[in-house]
């Protein structure tokens, strides 16, 4: 393939993930594409070569266009003849980096792709009428899909499940392994700015450091934040909070998911993870709420993993358990029972 230096990128709107297939064909011919309608603000031109532009809130939360080299995107595609012609399904938006990854895998292997949404009955109807060999989604989406699984003589049994878009928590991974004992799992942690950072087949929330080093040989953890050495020799923070255990890395949340409670920093994602480790809690999300005395307080939204009527004293038990595991500023002061649907920006909200 011959790459050309693009002039003005072509903005393209996509209604579904399958609409990306002809976009990939155009990228193969050397055209640079910007996903979505033209923005009102000036857009920095893409680097030399064929590029795909996706919009991202980035590490700062400020919306921007991120350009990905087409050549680099193609290298992330799994090219195994055994997956040729598979039927994929995914709820990711076509203008997101995760959506591009899912569609690119199906396109590059001659497969088909169905877009899903949160109409669970409709999703299961699609699955029954045209079974998927593979699904690419967030852990939260898959968890909710399973919660709404109808009784059937032919249960969903995909060959491959790819999880991304948010951190996989251990309790969720355990449920998936139990429900899909024969399925191959791939857990991906990526961003529009950096591409794929970590990839593993584990379901316990840890990634092999080797998967990062294949893409970024020089990395370090500074004050809990993952930093990568760029091509100009500068250390750049990714905005991801991580823990390291020898040759394993665990993403514990984003740097901007930190609350300040009476001068103490509280990792909101860690509060949610610990809440999910308590029996009876299926999903949990900690958020910060303004408070006149402490500046902020922690609010815990949670979904139950109990039969109706069994909740009993769950909230007092949950409160007691979290107070034993967390410092006082991180104790939730408000509790909201919620189903916690998938969010528009999976890394920052459920």
pLDDT of 1? 46
Q: What is the pLDDT of residue 217?
A: 93
Task: Write down the pLDDT at residue 347.
Answer: 43
Instruction: Evaluate if residue 3 carries a pLDDT over 70.
Output: no
pLDDT at residue 48, rounded to an integer:
75
Domain residue extents for the chain:
74-204, 258-337
pLDDT tens track for 127-176: 888 889 999 999 999 999 998 988 876 778 899 999 999 889 999 999 99
CA distance 190 to 196: 4
DSSP 46: P
- The CATH class given to the 74-204 domain equals alpha beta
The pLDDT, as a whole number, for residue 314 is: 79
Q: Residues of the chain with pLDDT > 70: what percent?
A: 88
Q: How far apart are CA 173 and CA 203, in angstroms?
A: 5
Q: Give the whole-number percent of the chain exceeding pLDDT 90.
A: 55
Q: Is the pLDDT at 346 greater than 60, yes or no?
A: no
Per-residue pLDDT at 62: 64
Summarize pLDDT for 40-97 with one digit per residue, the tens.
555 666 777 888 988 776 555 566 788 899 998 998 887 778 889 999 999 999 988 9
Under CATH, to which class is 258-337 assigned?
alpha beta
Q: Is the pLDDT of residue 107 over 80?
A: yes
Q: Is the pLDDT of residue 120 over 90?
A: yes
Q: For the chain, where are the E strands, in sequence order?
A: 10-12, 33-35, 51-56, 64-69, 87-90, 112-115, 134-137, 160-163, 184-191, 195-200, 206-208, 219-222, 225-229, 235-245, 248-254, 258-261, 264-267, 281-291, 295-304, 332-337
């Amino acid at each position: 393939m011959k790459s050309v230096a693009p002039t003005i990128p072509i903005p393209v709107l996509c209604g579904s993930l399958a609409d990306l297939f002809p976009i990939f064909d155009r990228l193969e011919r050397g055209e640079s594409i910007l996903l979505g309608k033209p923005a009102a603000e000036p857009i920095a031109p893409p680097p030399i070569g064929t590029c795909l532009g996706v919009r991202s809130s980035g590490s700062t939360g400020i919306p921007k266009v991120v350009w990905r080299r087409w050549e680099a995107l193609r290298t992330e595609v799994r090219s195994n003849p055994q997956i040729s012609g598979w039927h994929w399904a995914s709820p990711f938006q076509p203008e997101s980096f995760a959506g591009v990854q899912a569609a690119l895998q199906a396109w590059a292997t001659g497969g088909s792709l169905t877009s899903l949404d949160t109409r669970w009955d409709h999703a299961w109807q699609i699955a029954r009428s045209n079974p998927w060999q593979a699904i690419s989604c967030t852990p939260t989406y898959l968890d909710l899909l399973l919660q709404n699984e109808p009784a059937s003589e032919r249960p969903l049994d995909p060959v491959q499940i790819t999880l991304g878009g948010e951190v996989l928590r251990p309790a969720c991974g355990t449920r998936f392994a139990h429900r899909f004992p024969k399925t191959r799992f791939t857990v991906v942690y990526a961003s529009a700015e950096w591409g794929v950072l970590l990839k593993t087949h584990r379901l316990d929330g840890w990634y092999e450091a080797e998967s990062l080093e294949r893409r970024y040989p020089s990395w370090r953890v500074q004050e809990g934040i993952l930093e990568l050495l760029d091509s100009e020799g500068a250390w750049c923070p990714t905005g991801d909070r991580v823990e390291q255990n020898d040759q394993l890395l665990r993403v514990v949340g984003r740097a901007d998911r930190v609350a300040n409670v009476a001068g103490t920093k509280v990792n909101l994602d860690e509060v949610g993870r610990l809440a999910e480790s308590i029996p009876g809690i299926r999903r949990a999300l900690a958020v910060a709420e303004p408070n006149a005395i402490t500046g902020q307080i922690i609010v815990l939204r949670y979904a139950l993993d109990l039969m109706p009527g069994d909740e009993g004293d769950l909230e007092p038990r949950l409160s007691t358990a979290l107070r034993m595991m967390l410092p006082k500023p991180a104790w939730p002061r408000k509790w909201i029972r919620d189903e916690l649907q998938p969010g528009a920006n999976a890394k920052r909200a459920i």
